[in-house]
Amino acid sequence: MTATELNLEDINTVLDTYDPPCVVDWAAKEFGDELVMSSSFGAESAVLIHLATQVAPRIRIIMVDTGYLFPETHQFMESLRRRFDLNVWVYRTRNDPIRYLEIAGETDPRLRMNVERCCNVNKNEPFDRAIKELQPRAWLRGIRRSQGNTRAERRIVEWSDRNDCYAISPLLAWDDQEIQAYMKQHDLPYHPLYESGYKSIGCNPLSCTRPVLPGEDPRAGRWSGSGKTECGLHLEVSSGSHI
């Protein structure tokens, strides 16, 4: 695939002065139908979905079904799909979820040692497959700097070496208060588990997601106790220009 040549330093200098709706509008004009977005249909996912569909109503939304999602996540996706007439593309793990846990020896949460491998084969592989099949030039994602140290240095537009496309993060500079204000302004719903303390919502079994305790990092409930804080989708990027 041949990428559009962008000077990312200059682009980011400009986009750092934009608010999220303007970033999304820029992305839609720059990449047109070759822009996709990802959504976990997690805690505050309605924000980016609302922003994106205001300017690109039929944008392809990649949703990865690892086989271990909460039932509430599927319900939430369906409710947003109906409300906004979403164009959701669900990509599923190639593994049988129960059989995978048995083979990997992951049936006892006290003995979980291979969370990295589980993410790689059940989450990252389906997403990489989606990008390969859909072949976008750019991908909208919902990460924010305030969500943790691994995201603090991200730029609004980066080149993803892993996926051979631009990764664009319109919400990067927004804090919790700005997210909440936008949701209230547009009457957007939170994930059903949000009010139960789940501030970042991933997979259900084997303590991959737990409620966040007062004072904890918003992503502290993910892979708790493993030292892992990212599935890997948002880590392999280069901030330099790409031709």
- What does the alpha-carbon distance between residue 46 and residue 190 come to, in Å, rounded to a whole number? 7
Question: What pLDDT, on a 0 to 100 scale, did the predictor assign at position 134?
Answer: 97
Amino acid type, 95: N
Q: From edge to edge, which strands make up the β-sheet containing 138-140?
A: 87-92, 60-65, 35-38, 138-140, 165-168, 157-160
Question: What pLDDT, on a 0 to 100 scale, did the predictor assign at position 242?
Answer: 33
- CB neighbourhood size of 65 (10 A): 17
- pTM comes to 0.84
Question: What pLDDT, on a 0 to 100 scale, did the predictor assign at position 234?
Answer: 46
User: What does DSSP assign to residue 6?
Assistant: B
Mean pLDDT, to the nearest integer, of 13-28? 97
Report percent pLDDT > 70 for the chain.
81
**Span 88-125, pLDDT tens digits:** 999 999 999 888 877 876 655 544 556 778 888 889 99
- What does the alpha-carbon distance between residue 157 and residue 16 come to, in Å, rounded to a whole number? 10
CB 212 within 8 A of CB 200: yes
- What does the alpha-carbon distance between residue 172 and residue 53 come to, in Å, rounded to a whole number? 18
Q: Of 36-45, 82-91, 105-114, which range is least confident? A: 105-114
- Quote the mean pLDDT of the chain: 85
Q: Which of 141, 155, 157 is nearest to 232 (CA)?
A: 141
Known active-site residue 119: no
The single residue of 118, 119, 165, 231 carrying the catalytic annotation is 231
Q: Of 127-136, 173-182, 191-200, 204-213, which range is least confident? A: 204-213
Domains of the chain: 8-196 (3.40.50.620)
**Span 183-208, pLDDT tens digits:** 999 999 999 999 888 888 888 855 57
